[in-house]
């Protein structure tokens, strides 16, 4: 039941909840289908910003791609809605976060686990290629994990479709993340989209097994030279089968690089391989242009604004369950060791004191604090690898005198966020709710905010 004095925003048949992420042109919010109870993620794009920055073609391309690619290892697009000012992507809710976060906190993966993710990645990318879709920005940050620990490819904003091929059947736009980009893409000549994606998959496999990049340098030109030479140095724990496959994938000559069908025939790859079940795609591209139709009406949104909060938003049982491991709430507030991009801890302190403590902790760490009701934005003052680090926090009421605090990376580098959270958590330990066992052990161990796993 909603807290008195608040209104829930509803878009079509979806009731919007907490914010999951934020970018330059879009926000992503958790939502619930009020007819079926299905959890979804809704990506909300601002049309004015899209037109201003001339991104209409890119958005149309992303919609077209998601409609063409229906695969168990690709984040699914359920539907598209639009008003006069906004576009809404209703997407599959993937609670496990980025694969990158797992590597950043745990380091390298065991070979069998890395192979499983690589198999799922190849299944997804090969299916995309069969539909004429080339991702062009494959990296661990764009690979998500669902509640069953299965990989989901996301972020098709830089993808290419058959109509983007020139008469020679090649692509010419240089795009992607430098460390994962194929050498032929860098030299500004025509390249085969499939071969370029395969190279990126090979880099990802190396990262999963090694815990670091095969080609890295702070100087971009030096990095490009390393990529062109493709002089691989394998850690000693790589098996001979993995080394052979990666060498065949990371061949700087795209004509000699292994193909998807050859990867699937490789003996190392085939170990424990499971062929995914793919449903027949009945989607059409007829409504791709409709989202930019000026005739779209605002009645799609039944409650646009929330009243100013006199107390934190109440987190209902459905939203609480969506944050936990399935439907088992027994481990809801157990301490976790993995630092994810979205973290939670609980406190029995008054909400106003929690807000004050967060502000008091963040400022000495070099963050400016912006507050609105029980939401806070911590904005880093230093420019990091991917711009200033920005952290969003919000206080939710779980039960009388029990609050849950969400801490989420809004912008910036994931590794820098990991470092921030370790220091941030130490400053908040006094307000964190502890169970009886933790209280008994409190004198001998340092207690930091318990993390609520979103897997």
Strands 313-314 and 387-399: parallel
Instruction: Say how far apart CA 119 and CA 273 lie, in whole Å.
Output: 7
The encoded tokens of residue 90 equal 């209703």
Q: Give the position of tokens 């299905």.
A: 38
Residue 43 is labelled as binding a ligand: yes
CB 397 within 8 A of CB 316: no
Per-residue b or e along 285-309, where b marks 16 or more CB atoms closer than 10 Å to that residue's CB: eeebeebeeeebeeeebeeeeeeeb
Residue 276's Cβ-side half-sphere holds a number of Cα atoms within 13 Å equal to 22
Question: In the block, which residue shows the tokens 């107390």?
Answer: 311
Q: Is 216 a catalytic residue?
A: no
Q: Give the DSSP per-residue string, 67-112.
A: HH---TTBPPEEEEEE-SSEEEEEEE--TT-BHHHHHHHH-SPPHH
Closest CA to 204 of 270, 265, 135, 271: 135
155 by Cβ neighbours in 10 Å (0-12 / 13-18 / 19+) ranks as middle
List 137, 192, 197, 373, catalytic entry: 137
| Binding-site residue set for ATP | 43
| Binding-site residue set | 43
Q: Which amino acids are annotated catalytic?
A: 137
């Amino acid at each position: 039941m909603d807290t008195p004095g608040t209104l829930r925003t509803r878009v079509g048949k979806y009731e919007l909840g907490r914010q999951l992420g934020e970018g330059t042109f879009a926000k992503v919010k958790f939502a619930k289908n009020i007819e079926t109870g299905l959890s979804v993620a809704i990506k909300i794009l601002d049309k004015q910003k899209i037109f201003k920055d001339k991104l209409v073609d890119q958005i149309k391309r992303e919609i077209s791609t998601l409609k063409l690619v229906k695969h168990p290892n690709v984040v699914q697009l359920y539907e598209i809605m639009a008003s006069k000012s906004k576009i809404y992507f209703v997407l599959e809710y993937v609670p496990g976060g980025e694969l990158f976060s797992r590597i950043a906190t745990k380091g390298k993966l065991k070979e069998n686990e890395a192979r499983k993710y690589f198999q799922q990645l190849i299944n997804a990318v090969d299916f995309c290629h069969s539909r004429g879709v080339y991702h062009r920005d494959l990296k661990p940050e764009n690979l998500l994990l669902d509640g069953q620990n299965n990989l989901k490819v996301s972020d098709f904003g830089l993808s290419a479709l058959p109509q983007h091929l020139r008469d020679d059947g090649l692509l010419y736009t240089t795009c992607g993340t430098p460390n994962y980009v194929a050498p032929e893409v860098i030299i500004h000549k025509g390249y085969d989209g499939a071969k370029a994606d395969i190279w990126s998959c090979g880099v990802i496999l190396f990262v999963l097994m090694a815990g670091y990049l095969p080609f890295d340098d702070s100087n971009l030109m030096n990095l490009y030279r390393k990529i062109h030479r493709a002089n691989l140095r394998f850690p000693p724990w790589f098996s001979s089968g993995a080394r052979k496959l990666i060498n065949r994938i990371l061949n700087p000559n795209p004509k000699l690089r292994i193909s998807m069908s050859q990867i699937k025939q490789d003996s190392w790859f085939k170990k424990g391989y499971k062929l995914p079940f793919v449903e027949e795609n009945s989607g059409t591209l007829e409504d791709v242009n409709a989202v930019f139709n000026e005739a779209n009406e605002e009645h799609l949104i039944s409650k646009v604004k929330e009243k100013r909060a006199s107390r934190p938003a109440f987190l209902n049982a459905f939203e609480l369950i969506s944050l936990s491991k399935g439907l088992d709430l027994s481990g809801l507030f157990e301490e976790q060791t993995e630092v994810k991009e979205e973290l939670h801890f609980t406190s029995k302190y008054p909400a106003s004191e929690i807000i004050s403590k967060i502000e008091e902790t963040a400022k000495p760490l070099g963050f400016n604090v912006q507050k609105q009701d029980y939401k806070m934005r911590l904005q880093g003052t230093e420019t990091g690898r991917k711009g200033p680090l920005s952290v969003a926090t919000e206080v939710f009421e779980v039960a009388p005198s029990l609050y849950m605090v969400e801490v989420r990376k809004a912008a910036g580098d994931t590794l820098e966020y990991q470092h921030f959270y370790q220091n941030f958590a130490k400053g908040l330990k006094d307000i964190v709710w502890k169970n009886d066992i933790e209280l008994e052990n409190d004198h001998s161990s340092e207690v930091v905010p318990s993390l609520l796993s979103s897997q």
